[in-house]
Structure 1
């Protein structure tokens, strides 16, 4: 009898242990699944919040850059028209500052693209721009850019070559004073090259024209204006990006503090 009962007892004990282990493993699996689902939901929520915050910041910066570019285009183009440097056909002249209707939106769009591109390139290269990062420096850069454009319309030299060399030196001085980054120099040269090609195309097709052209269909100093304008708008875009990032970090710290 003892030998018959002992196997029965060991068999029932083993079955109970197996059942308990299965229950425990099922419970652990369910808890792990719940934890993973909670983690995934938290990650998706954090990602969506970050994406929406970055999206709103991108839209705000684009609108500000568009407005700045359109305003500068109206003011600077008015100066060129008053000095008879730039001539538009009479049928395309609008009432706003006696400028062509397409000038402000085109320049505003270009300013938005350039202003967003500068901090993006800095981030891609891993070289954050930290030289003179304050609004006072940005405003001085804008003032120097307006002065360079003003000089292109009002300074009288013996020939256009002397004027072009003078404006080239002023444009490089603007970059050295307010930028000093390799990415800023490279993007400024690229912007000047592409903008000059587009301007040549527009003048060739009779959209508007320059008086006394000496560089194919345009004035030889125009690439200097595009270069200094690209550096100026790039500094504005960098400053806006830095302000947006600082605001986002402040909000994150406040939310973390409230949650704790």
Structure 2
């Protein structure tokens, strides 16, 4: 009997009952499962695996920034070239007059005009595809370089008309150039973002021009819109649409900006 009594009290089931009542069903299986999960949990990733994703992100960001610099440089050069050609047309017709102290020898233009126009072209050309992506409306109307070159030719023609055409008054000339500018947008753009940005650019550029003329940096002959010609906003509008189309074409096929985790 003592032996049986000792064996009874030495049984694991009896010990569990004496400690906390009845044993819980499946407790042993849960403990084994937890042990198996703990033993099979992966350890810390090796250094190569941890560093692979940031390195890939760095390469993507570097390529995106490199492409951004290239597009900015191309747009800047386009803006400089257009400024030299178009400003030459205006000066030859005595539409724009610069004081002698700010004149330079390059195409008889003021030295600061081409850099300013190049910088503005770079900003506008990068802004158009950025706004398109933000609005979720990618521009796909006539997306080829032939259409872009025709748009540039029409823009130069509008500027040439502003210097060459003679109307009875500036109001008729302004209305004609406004119709041509809207026709340029309808022919080569037709996007709401392009129309909105063109109007905004025309408004801001006109204000800046008014400020420069007011401070005597240069002047226009026969001003009829405060200090400038009334058709100048039409030129700014068509120029914004033209440079925007160039920027959109340059941005085609460019990878999106990588997002940081």
Q: Same fold (TM over 0.5)?
A: yes
Q: How many residues align?
A: 240
Q: What does residue 40 of structure 2 align with?
A: 28
Picking from 65, 73, 78, the partner of 1:55 is 65
CA-atom RMSD, angstroms? Answer: 2.9
Which of structures 1 and 2 has the bigger CA Rg? 2
Aligned to 1:229: 239
SS at match of 1:34: coil
- Residue 45 of structure 1: how far off its partner (Å): 2.1
- TM normalised by structure 2 equals 0.83
From 66, 83, 86, give the equivalent of 2:76: 66
SS in 2 for 1:244: coil
Query: Which of 128, 138, 157 is the equivalent residue of 1:147?
Result: 157
Residue by residue over 1:91-144, the C-alpha shift from the partner in whole angstroms, topping out at 9 and shown as x without a partner, is 110111110010011000000000000000000000000000000000000000
Where does structure 2 lack aligned partners over 5 or more consecutive residues?
Answer: 13-30
In the other structure, the counterpart of 2:95 is 85
Match in the other structure for 2:17: none
* Residue 219 (1) aligns with residue 220 (2): no
In 1, the alpha carbon distance for the partners of 2:72 and 2:132 equals 17
Structure whose residues are more often helix by fraction: 1
Question: Displacement of 1:42 after TM fit?
Answer: 2.9
Structure 1's unaligned 5+ residue stretches are 8-17, 249-260
* Superposed counterparts of 1:1-260, under 5 Å: 3=7, 28-31=40-43, 33-34=44-45, 38=49, 40-245=50-255
- Distance (whole Å) between structure 2 residues aligned to residue 51 and residue 225 of structure 1: 37
Partner of 1:256: none
Give the deviation of 1:53 after TM superposition. 1.0
